[in-house]
Structure 1
Amino acid sequence: MTGLEIGFASIAVMLVLIYSGMHVAITLMLVSFVSVWMIRDNPDMAAKLMVAAFKDSISDYLFGVVPLFVLMGLVVSVAGIGRDTFDVAQQAFRKILGGLGVATVAANAIFAAITGISIASAAVFTKVAVPEMRRHGYTPHFSVGVVAGSAVLGMLIPPSLLFILYGVLTEQSVGDLFIAGVIPGLVLSATYALGIVAMGKWAPGFIGGTTVSTDDMPTMSFGEMAAKLAPIVILVALVLGGIYGGIFTPTEAGAAGAAGALVIAVLKRRLGWRDFWQVLVQTGHTTASICFLIMGASLYSRMLALSGMPNWLGDTVLGAGFGVNGVVIAMILVMVLLGTILDSASIMLLVLPIAVPILTGLQVDLIWLGVIAILAVEIGLLTPPFGLAVYVIKSTLGPDTDITLGQIFKGAAPFALMMALVLALVFIFPALATALL
């Protein structure tokens, strides 16, 4: 077999193994190692390439940002800042039909600016928002659907772990990617809020209709609202203000944010030693998982380059007359399709090593492409049969809940469509992602 044939065969084998249930990182490593062995007919060379790929992929100073932002997000969750944010948003939107849904979106948008982890947002607001919405007459599917839909804001509004991963894979500035996510994140938040208001007016049966009542909600004074929001404002100013103001690198901002979150949690007396230990263990687990994925993707990229497949695909695309738009649309469709079975990080690790070399040859702005890629893979968090955010919500609800997976997918469907609309807007108007750069 030629290198090109081995490259294409490796993709097919990987998809089969992943569909069979093998972990994505192990699949990437195994298939890449065997493929290099076959291309060069030399197992020693495959082993040396694996060692080099592993060493180079995680030795970068930038990679230190991952555990720091994960730690910050988990401490913020334990400190109850998500609960405080929802309380304030609930107070602000209490008079709107569907107001608790809008409050959930607003709280998630703010929470995303200090966590960057969609799964954490889904877990926190399932516990915080769903019981409150059910108590006020919202339908089960809308109560969980709005949490699932708004949880994905955590991967678009900076700081975002997916933007960090994209920056590592494509060698783009993480700071620039964070800035590029601001406007699309705000647009998506506004689209969700307007969509909920529209559903309240024209499809009240979907969200709960006239049974929704917020008159019995306790009121908060301005001082109480300010006190609940103060920690959030401080962390956002510290992390994002530090990055955008040129004071911190993304890694330094992650360290400052993690330290700030720890101080706030201690001052609030919401972080005991047992909670702190669990946060550290979970941070280690998450970081190790991401680390193995990046190492596997690095070896996979080198194997593809060795096979000559990216160059062949680039020449074929250019020779066939496909424009930038056609290639980007194809990438979007593949990512959304893979989203039905894989998590967001795995999709990026599989698709980007093939797509980016082609699009680089077509002079595509890789910062804009990063926003497109994040939106495309995040749609997959809401789509069956995998829908990672949906399963996190189902798991968080516990075994005694009367809400089924089907109801969660039903409730999340309008938000997946709204996300597709925002994706189309960013595709048609690239300035939404690049205007602040």
Structure 2
Amino acid sequence: MTDFAIGLFSLMAMGGLVLGGLYVPIALILCSLIGVWAIKGNLILATKMLGLAANDAISSYFFGVIPVFVLMGFIVSESGLGRDAFDVANAMFKRIKGGLGVGTIAANAIFAAITGISIASAAVFTKLAVPELRRHGYSDRFAVGVVAGSSVLGMLIPPSLLLILYGLLTETNIGDLFLAGVGPGLMLALLFGLGTVGMAMFASGFIGRNLSADSEAPTTRELLSKGLPIAGLISLVLGGIYAGVFTPVEAGAVGTAGALVLGMIKRRLAWSGLWRVMVETGMITASICFLVIAAQMYSRMLSFSGVPSGFGTMVTQADLSVLGLILLYCFVVILMGMILDSGSIMLILVPLMLPVVTALHVDLVWFGIITVLAVEVGLLTPPFGISVYVIKATLDDPTISLKDIFIGAAPFAAIMLVSLGLVIAFPFIATGLLGR
């Protein structure tokens, strides 16, 4: 059996194991070990080579960006800044038809700019926004759908854990990726808002027929006390990165300290909550590092087998254009999003596609934004749809089924496909701020 055939067999075996329910990193490591063993013919050599891959995978200083941003996101969530963002956004858009829905989207965009974790956004705004939306006449399906849809902004608007993961996998500058995510992220939030207003005007049966805006308006002082700390934290983290004052790792650490200070000043951060945040941060960081190690092993095995270069040769011989390749890639990513989580999709496909798109001189920053947008669609599509399951678990309401949440999120998944098409057709949406 040739090395190329071994690589293909390993890919098929890995896919079968994942679909069979085996944890993705375990499937990657197992297939990588067996694949390298079959290629090199020596088990000891295979274990040593994969051991070196594991060491190389997370030895970089820039891997420190993972725990600091995860910690900052959890502290922000625990200290109630998500509620503040919702109150401010709701006050800004309450006079628009469907304004509470638009306010939920705006609040999620703000929250995304200080957390970067879609799951955290989904959990926080399920508790904050869904009861308020239902109380003001919005339908159950729309109430959970708008939270599910807008929660994905956390994976695109910087700082984003998916962009960090992509940057580490492809050795692309994380600051550039963050800057490139601003345009598409704001565009997606704007399209979500316009879509909500459009549904309020032309699909009142779906969004709700008797929308009210009779909540008591907060005072200017209350809005400033809630909005200024959030604006300050966003400016500190993202402004520091873009101005060149901080590296992404340093910005995450400074942002974590800032979120901690805000939580203490507002007296919303108890010792029990801080301990829970630390434990959850450690668990997520360990999980992400394990995923990255497995992906590095998998990437080494693919390189030894020659599958990426062989795939690139086939693409060249097929005379497939860059646009055709990107469209095919997005189609595969969206299909995989129906059965796998976001990180797993990136870990499986990005190492496979990286040599191909590099050979075709594709801008890796643009390709990263396309990848994250396509992956995000999978957060809302059945049967997996991790954001949908988080909302269902957080809501704990038997009257709202998973089917209701998926139906409610469907218009937002369609809007995301439109955004993906726009970024593919007009790359400057992503790269314009980089001057490319």
Class of the TM-score when normalised by the shorter of the 2 chains:
over 0.9
Select the residue among 304, 322, 328 that pairs with 2:320. 322
Aligned ranges 1:113-128 → 2 under 5 Å: 113-128=113-128
Q: What's the secondary structure of 1:436's corresponding residue? A: helix
Q: Tell me which residue corresponds to 2:212.
A: 213
Alignment of 1:340 with 2:351, yes or no, is no
Give, in whole Å, the separation in 2 of the partners of 1:88 and 1:319. Answer: 55
Q: Give CA deviations for 1:163-196 in whole Å, capped at 9, x if unaligned.
A: 0000000010000000000000000000000000
The alpha carbon displacement at 1:111 in A equals 0.4
The alpha carbon displacement at 1:257 in A equals 0.5
Give, in whole Å, the separation in 2 of the partners of 1:55 and 1:333. Answer: 33
Q: CA RMSD in A?
A: 0.7
The alpha carbon displacement at 1:401 in A equals 3.4
Letter paired with 1:390:
V
Q: Tell me which residue corresponds to 2:348.
A: 350
Give, in whole Å, the separation in 1 of the partners of 2:260 and 2:221. Answer: 24
Q: Give CA deviations for 1:147-167 in whole Å, capped at 9, x if unaligned.
A: 000000000000000000000
> Normalising to structure 2: TM-score of the pair?
0.99
Give, in whole Å, the separation in 1 of the partners of 2:377 and 2:395. Answer: 22
Q: Tell me which residue corresponds to 2:158.
A: 158
Select the residue among 388, 412, 423 that pairs with 1:426. 423
Using the aligned pairs only, state the percent identity: 57
Letter paired with 1:421:
V
Alignment of 1:27 with 2:27, yes or no, is yes
Give, in whole Å, the separation in 1 of the partners of 2:168 and 2:329. Answer: 19
Letter paired with 2:389:
Y
Q: Tell me which residue corresponds to 2:138.
A: 138
Letter paired with 1:261:
A
Give, in whole Å, the separation in 2 of the partners of 1:40 and 1:191. Answer: 52
The alpha carbon displacement at 1:3 in A equals 0.8
Number of matched pairs: 434
> Normalising to structure 1: TM-score of the pair?
0.99
What are structure 1's unaligned runs of at least 5 residues?
Answer: none
Letter paired with 2:38:
M
Q: Tell me which residue corresponds to 1:241.
A: 239
Q: Tell me which residue corresponds to 2:260.
A: 262
Deviates more, 1:124-133 or 1:42-51: 42-51
Alignment of 1:18 with 2:18, yes or no, is yes
Alignment of 1:71 with 2:68, yes or no, is no
Letter paired with 1:21:
G
Q: Tell me which residue corresponds to 1:48.
A: 48
Q: What's the secondary structure of 1:381's corresponding residue? A: coil
Q: Tell me which residue corresponds to 1:90.
A: 90
Give, in whole Å, the separation in 1 of the partners of 2:74 and 2:37. Answer: 41
Select the residue among 361, 364, 368 that pairs with 1:363. 361
The alpha carbon displacement at 1:96 in A equals 1.8
Give, in whole Å, the separation in 2 of the partners of 1:139 and 1:76. Answer: 29
Q: Tell me which residue corresponds to 1:7.
A: 7
Q: Tell me which residue corresponds to 2:184.
A: 184
Letter paired with 1:48:
K
Q: Tell me which residue corresponds to 1:408.
A: 405
Letter paired with 2:20:
S
Q: What's the secondary structure of 1:35's corresponding residue? A: helix
Q: Give CA deviations for 1:331-365 in whole Å, capped at 9, x if unaligned.
A: 10111000001110100000011111101000000
Give, in whole Å, the separation in 2 of the partners of 1:2 and 1:364. Answer: 30
The alpha carbon displacement at 1:88 in A equals 1.2
Give, in whole Å, the separation in 2 of the partners of 1:92 and 1:182. Answer: 21
Q: Tell me which residue corresponds to 2:167.
A: 167
Letter paired with 2:426:
F
Alignment of 1:436 with 2:406, yes or no, is no
Letter paired with 2:127:
K
Q: Tell me which residue corresponds to 1:252.
A: 250
Letter paired with 2:251:
A
Runs of 4+ in 1 over 3 A off after TM superposition: none
